[in-house]
Structure 1
Amino acid sequence: MTSPPYPPAPRSDIVDELHGTPVPDPYRWLEDPDAPEVKEWLEAQGELFAQAGLSGRERFRGRVEELLKSGSIGSPTWRGDRHFFMRRTPEQEHAVLYVVDDGVERALIDPMALDPSGLTTLDAWQPDKEGRLLAYQISVGGDEESQLFVLDVASGEVLEGPIDRCRYSPVAWLPGGGTYYYVRRLAPDRVPEGEEQYHRRVYLHVLGTPADDDVMIFGEGLEKTNYYGVSVSRDGRWLTVSASRGTAPRNDLWVADLESSPVTAPALVTVQQDVDAQTGLHFGRDGRLYVFTDRDAPRGRICVATPQAPAYENWRDLIPEDAEAVLSDFAILDDLDEPIMLVGWTRHAISEISVHRLADGARTGSVPTPGLGTIGGISERPEGGHEAWFGYTDNTTPPTIQHYDARTGETTLWAASPGSVDVPPVRTEHVVYSSADGTEVHMLVISPVDGSGPRPTVLYGYGGFGISMTPGYSASILTWVEAGGVYAIAQLRGGGEQGEEWHRAGMLGNKQNVFDDLHAAAEHLIATGVTTSEQLAISGGSNGGLLVGAALTQRPDLYAAVVCSAPLLDMIRYERFGLGATWNVEYGSADIPEEFGWLSSYSPYHHVREGVEYPATLFTVFASDTRVHPLHAWKMAAALQHATASDRPILLRNETEAGHGARSVSKTVALAADQLAFLATHTGLAKDR
């Protein structure tokens, strides 16, 4: 195969001087998506991708589509005898929000009914405390710019909205349903140019009044990149407000008693401030305050205190930190002779639930689970009870909802994904390997049940923001393995699989550990005969796109192919675009000399070298992505196309009317088919297809 002729991409002589270091940026002109020359270049890249001979694309498309006909199901949210849940049936493009009232089920919000084009997504929803009203947020075209509405649950009538600038906004209802706290960005004309995505505030909104008249209760004068959380206890007495600078793994936390201070000006009492830890609060029906925290416990612990004295010095352990497992969730069941707490854990990314006496935290048993997989949160009725619900999935099981009855100790299937699919058999192996510095890293290797290697293999990783790589149903993975390939998922440093210390071992100045962990995973797969470097591909998106971008520049000899989706790649200028300024707490800032040194040591765009034989690389980006601007991939694609000495292609798939997150099923299928076909073509999986 010979590399295709690439669209012309002029190289400028722009060189910035940062902290005494010259930083070339020859493709800065590609940062302007509205420039005619950029549009022309993107159109030519689209034509180049359309002409790529990708083996098995239609076969992959058909199989991914079949496996996605499993549909999906979400956990219930209870309000009295009424409950709300999400479900997607086999033929639906988006999941629909349903309510069940007196045993009668009906659709409340169907994104396709709102917009038959499939471009509208339901981003979030929250019923009021009585279940009579529902706040929900929608966005269009993948831009995640949520608008907030409120509807009457009984009639389905939209009572008000839209309220704009509500991206990532929590909604905390007060009892009675007429008032709620929420988070909204300041209007664009009130912030400096270029900072429209920041400057959030917490407001109190009264139903039926103009949003611009809402009372601001928190956030004035604080960090521009702060995210805020807000919640109100079940009885309406206690307000909690949290603040974190961007995506920092720490938060400040305050509590107010709404019985002794007005809802328009709550008297907030500090729980923690300027502390390097994450903490959340739950106000128990028994009057105790339950504190979920990683303060002095990187794997998490649960403490108890009282709402009237919530400060750190009053906490006492109820569920102490575990030596191996990471605390993930808890629920309280108190309609029992002896009230209990269910505690969710992940042990090397495999979920489990333990049972403890609520009084003293003593462990009394465990909750049966369907297998070695992932539990998606434990929920109970707000007014208490003896039942709990939790989501469950693993590599061959579409999402299900399980029901636990504490009176019998039994777990039963409560609801399954509605579609019936023929899931191929696979073998999942949990392996441990050593990284460059001797650190043990875990990896899941999913392969066909028959035969042996070496086989075409995709190595996937993320390694950032404390996000864990856990088992789950994936149509793409199953399609790849059914076709004869191997799919490996490495639990790299930077993730949350081993707790907060594991996260911090892969952030800021430790970021190279993440890349070293990926290289070591690749070398382990080769050394153990799973694959060869000629058959090995790497894949990642967002922060995982940064991962594979760094990997292909650091070890181009190790990988045959790369799929790099919605990536960060120019780590010197990333803070200037999308939500980049909220991530400098994870990566560092090029404005600070020491942190510039970290970033420049691995920034993929700045480490492309002429004359190197780079792997076959496919960049997939989305024009409406307001988190990670597609310019990262545009600049990197141009740099690689100019520099590579390999005949393996560098391609760019630039999708319109799609963003970083949720999308319709048909768009998901099309993207997966293109990615799998590219990987198959350049690892030999589809050589004879």
Structure 2
Amino acid sequence: MTDKTSRAVPVENFHGVLVADPFRWLEDPMSDETKEFVRNQNVQTREVLDALTVRHSIRKRLETLWRLPQYFTPVKAAGRLFFLQNDGQKNQPALYVVDADQAGDTPRLLVDPNQMSDNGTVALTQYSVRRDGTKVAYATAKGGSDWQIIRVVDVESGENETDFIQWCKFTTPAWHPDGSGFFYTRFPERDESGVADQSQNAAVYFHVLGTDQSADELVYARPDAPELGFYPHVSHDGKYLFLHVTKGTDRETRLYVRELEGSGEWQRVLDKGDAKYSLLGNEGSRVYIQTDLDAPKGRIVSFDLRSPEPEHWTEVVAEQDLPLTYADFAKDALLLLYLQDAHHVMKVRQLSSGDDYEVELPTVGSITGLFCSQRDEDAYFGLTSFLYPVSVFHLNIATGAVSSVWDASAAFDVSPYVTKQVFYESKDGTKVPMFLTHRRDLALNSDNPVLITGYGGFNISRTPAFSPAALQFVEQGGVYALANLRGGSEYGEAWHRAGMLENKQNVFDDFQSAAEYLIREGYTRPERTAIIGGSNGGLLVAACMLQRPDLYGAVVCQVPVIDMLRYHRFTVGRYWVGEYGNAEENKEQFEFMYEYSPLHNVVQGRVYPPILITTADSDDRVVPSHPYKFTATLQAASPGVNPILLRVETEAGHGAGKPISKLIDEQTDIYAFLADTIGSGKVSE
């Protein structure tokens, strides 16, 4: 569909280059024309997808796989475990509590977000337990939005208190040691248009239990630096209030602190914004942090708050060959997570002796959550892999013993399948790892359906994880491939920088080289090769489709960043400039962004593979105008050979908190589309 009305086409001058933007009218989500465009696209898409006869069998299998119990890493407080869990029959995980020494018993339900909406679109996104275990502050979000509302539940009665906190994003309440209230971060009241930037002028407040939010005390704000974000943390000894300070998605962070009691001055301990600084904990006035200053793969140092300058630091854990991705402080120990060729390795550093040991994990995979406390020798973690649903384990830090708490790995038989890791060369000779999951009896006959995914940006690693939809694809003879592209953190900051700004083309080359490897090695051929990616991964698959349409038989492009010349003008896009660049303000950055920007590289009359583009009407992170404009541009340029489908979800956002019912609907559409385009097989009844 293209716009048939008469309208002037906006043209902007970017450093002497005139760039037309014929579908800019789709940037207004509230206009009647945009709403009509979305309605028409959804009608056309549903006509195509609903006619696919394989839908029923795919949905039936997904219903079975997704309706299995789901477990999440618990938090321990006052001898109890607090955790999210879904028995597989509900749309959203709910919050439960159980005595820590009776974790196998039936837990007690505390908060059920499934009761907060008729269609499962309210999700419980964060929670924080008071130290005495009697209250829990929890946050919910509706329709996939990043906006949160914080409430408080009484643990004994299971009843909500009167507290109601609005205008929050990404904040976890930090309880005062006396339990009287908590610190949190909020923003000014939101603009309902869905287009304006909603992530400026964050401020830290203290909320006293049982009072109205209007009475909350302002603790810290920086009107001179509206782009900064603040994450409060109360030290385990109750002496200090720390602020972890961020600027959008920038890797560089800051650390501020003041004494908790009184109205003492804030100390901007680390405020240069020159490296990553993550607080781990403290012993009195000595603070432990994880940093990449002078250590691109990460290290741990300590310093006294009276002398925080780097020349006074003590190195606790030196930089290793493997990148240190996460660390936490336990009782007399540090828990360390490293990445080894894109999967996690867990080590423990005993502070009293200085000795290390490696934790023996039940499978090669990813740690999905880690809880420990400076007051306890117990730690809990989640573990997952492509053929291993998230299971939760207990670690005795003193002995290194690992025991199962909740095991989901026996839910079905995965013995017919295998995951292996291969390494291939990218265009410039760089060695790139890739995980492949498929049937053990797979024949390398160049005729298997293959689905390749990746991300390649923002220092984010894609590590092994269980996906019901991907398993369904593998069950039907497909090869599921995860390429660990440059731009992530798989091999440290150098790997990240090799895929950002002027090096972004490396990410696309890595991905295209993955497809070429699988074709060359006899796994598949282009007609049976599909690619899928979301958000920055949506940019990835869009750019690769436009650059190498000959490599792919189908494309699934989810909540993508598409307009690289204007992305920074919408919601939180301005915080991605450090990763992508700013085409308006920098001529050099314009040149390399314009060269790959998907919106500006669609060629009139060229045949592109069949593509399914997805977005959501409540996406307040990557605004829907990106996929809207991309769809309109592709359709206007298309010779009409292959379908160009836009699927717009209602009452959904960027992906977080999506109810299982909507996930099954979406994945049924995606895998039916793939079955129709690359012949990924029909599910056995």
TM-score after normalising by structure 2:
0.93
Per the alignment, residue 391 of structure 2 pairs with 400
Per the alignment, residue 24 of structure 1 pairs with 20
Per the alignment, residue 241 of structure 2 pairs with 239
Amino acid of the structure 2 residue aligned with 1:350: H
Amino acid of the structure 2 residue aligned with 1:299: K
Whole-Å separation in 2 of the counterparts to 1:410 and 1:368: 8
> Structure 2 residue aligned with 1:279, among 270, 277, 280?
277
> Structure 1 residue aligned with 2:550, among 526, 548, 557?
557
Answer yes or no: is the 8 Å Cα contact 2:499–2:507 preserved in 1. Answer: yes
Answer yes or no: is the 8 Å Cα contact 1:458–1:537 preserved in 2. Answer: yes
1:32-43 alignment runs, 5 A limit: 32-43=28-39
1:250-649 alignment runs, 5 A limit: 250-259=252-261, 262=262, 265-284=263-282, 288-334=286-332, 340-359=333-352, 361-363=354-356, 365-385=357-377, 387-417=378-408, 420-423=411-414, 425-453=416-444, 454=446, 455-593=448-586, 594-645=588-639, 647-649=641-643
Per the alignment, residue 3 of structure 1 pairs with none
Amino acid of the structure 1 residue aligned with 2:376: G
Answer yes or no: is the 8 Å Cα contact 2:330–2:374 preserved in 1. Answer: no
Whole-Å separation in 2 of the counterparts to 1:563 and 1:431: 24
Displacement of 1:671 after TM fit? 0.6
Per the alignment, residue 682 of structure 1 pairs with 677
> Structure 1 residue aligned with 2:54, among 40, 53, 56?
56
Whole-Å separation in 2 of the counterparts to 1:554 and 1:642: 18
Displacement of 1:417 after TM fit? 3.7
Q: Quick one: structure 1 residues 100 and 423, their matched pair in 2 at CA, closer, same or farther if it must change by over 3 Å?
A: same
Bigger drift between 568-577 and 46-55 goes to 46-55
Answer yes or no: is the 8 Å Cα contact 2:230–2:245 preserved in 1. Answer: yes
Amino acid of the structure 1 residue aligned with 2:557: C
Whole-Å separation in 2 of the counterparts to 1:279 and 1:351: 21
Answer yes or no: is the 8 Å Cα contact 1:9–1:41 preserved in 2. Answer: no
Mapped pair 1:656 → 2:650: yes
Per the alignment, residue 182 of structure 2 pairs with 180
Answer yes or no: is the 8 Å Cα contact 1:368–1:411 preserved in 2. Answer: yes
SS at match of 1:585: helix
Displacement of 1:495 after TM fit? 0.9
Task: Provide the aligned length of Structure 1 versus Structure 2.
Answer: 673
Per the alignment, residue 209 of structure 2 pairs with 207
Whole-Å separation in 2 of the counterparts to 1:248 and 1:667: 32
Structure 2 gap ranges (5+): none
Displacement of 1:348 after TM fit? 1.2
Displacement of 1:127 after TM fit? 1.1
Q: Quick one: structure 1 residues 357 and 220, their matched pair in 2 at CA, closer, same or farther if it must change by over 3 Å?
A: closer
SS at match of 1:124: strand
Q: Quick one: structure 1 residues 382 and 80, their matched pair in 2 at CA, closer, same or farther if it must change by over 3 Å?
A: farther
Bigger drift between 515-524 and 216-225 goes to 216-225
Q: Quick one: structure 1 residues 530 and 297, their matched pair in 2 at CA, closer, same or farther if it must change by over 3 Å?
A: same
Displacement of 1:257 after TM fit? 2.3
Whole-Å separation in 2 of the counterparts to 1:96 and 1:192: 28
SS at match of 1:250: coil
Amino acid of the structure 2 residue aligned with 1:587: Y
Whole-Å separation in 1 of the counterparts to 2:56 and 2:460: 33
Amino acid of the structure 1 residue aligned with 2:610: A
Whole-Å separation in 2 of the counterparts to 1:125 and 1:502: 33
SS at match of 1:148: strand
- Aligned-residue RMSD, C-alpha: 2.4
Structure 1 gap ranges (5+): 1-5, 335-339
Whole-Å separation in 2 of the counterparts to 1:188 and 1:73: 34
Displacement of 1:617 after TM fit? 0.5
Displacement of 1:419 after TM fit? 8.7
Bigger drift between 626-635 and 301-310 goes to 301-310
SS at match of 1:671: helix
What do the CA deviations read for 1:191-227 (whole angstroms, capped 9, x no partner)? 9993444221112222233323333232322433322
Amino acid of the structure 2 residue aligned with 1:671: E
Answer yes or no: is the 8 Å Cα contact 1:328–1:346 preserved in 2. Answer: no
Whole-Å separation in 1 of the counterparts to 2:370 and 2:141: 28
What do the CA deviations read for 1:134-168 (whole angstroms, capped 9, x no partner)? 11111212223211112222222222332211111
Amino acid of the structure 2 residue aligned with 1:378: L
SS at match of 1:557: helix
Whole-Å separation in 2 of the counterparts to 1:679 and 1:249: 36
Displacement of 1:422 after TM fit? 4.4
Answer yes or no: is the 8 Å Cα contact 1:80–1:381 preserved in 2. Answer: no
Percentage identity across paired residues of the two chains: 38
1:104-115 alignment runs, 5 A limit: 105-115=107-117
Per the alignment, residue 149 of structure 1 pairs with 151
Answer yes or no: is the 8 Å Cα contact 1:186–1:199 preserved in 2. Answer: yes
Amino acid of the structure 2 residue aligned with 1:42: V
Answer yes or no: is the 8 Å Cα contact 1:344–1:354 preserved in 2. Answer: yes
What do the CA deviations read for 1:595-645 (whole angstroms, capped 9, x no partner)? 222321211011111011111100011111111111111111111112123
Q: Quick one: structure 1 residues 550 and 610, their matched pair in 2 at CA, closer, same or farther if it must change by over 3 Å?
A: same
Q: Quick one: structure 1 residues 188 and 489, their matched pair in 2 at CA, closer, same or farther if it must change by over 3 Å?
A: closer
Amino acid of the structure 1 residue aligned with 2:64: E
Q: Quick one: structure 1 residues 347 and 666, their matched pair in 2 at CA, closer, same or farther if it must change by over 3 Å?
A: same
Whole-Å separation in 2 of the counterparts to 1:247 and 1:419: 38
What do the CA deviations read for 1:238-285 (whole angstroms, capped 9, x no partner)? 1111222111001121122235xx1xx342222212232111122345
Answer yes or no: is the 8 Å Cα contact 1:90–1:419 preserved in 2. Answer: no
Whole-Å separation in 2 of the counterparts to 1:409 and 1:511: 42
Displacement of 1:115 after TM fit? 2.2
Displacement of 1:351 after TM fit? 1.3
Displacement of 1:29 after TM fit? 1.6
Whole-Å separation in 2 of the counterparts to 1:111 and 1:500: 38
Q: Quick one: structure 1 residues 127 and 266, their matched pair in 2 at CA, closer, same or farther if it must change by over 3 Å?
A: farther
Whole-Å separation in 2 of the counterparts to 1:596 and 1:131: 53
Displacement of 1:327 after TM fit? 3.7
Bigger drift between 306-315 and 530-539 goes to 306-315
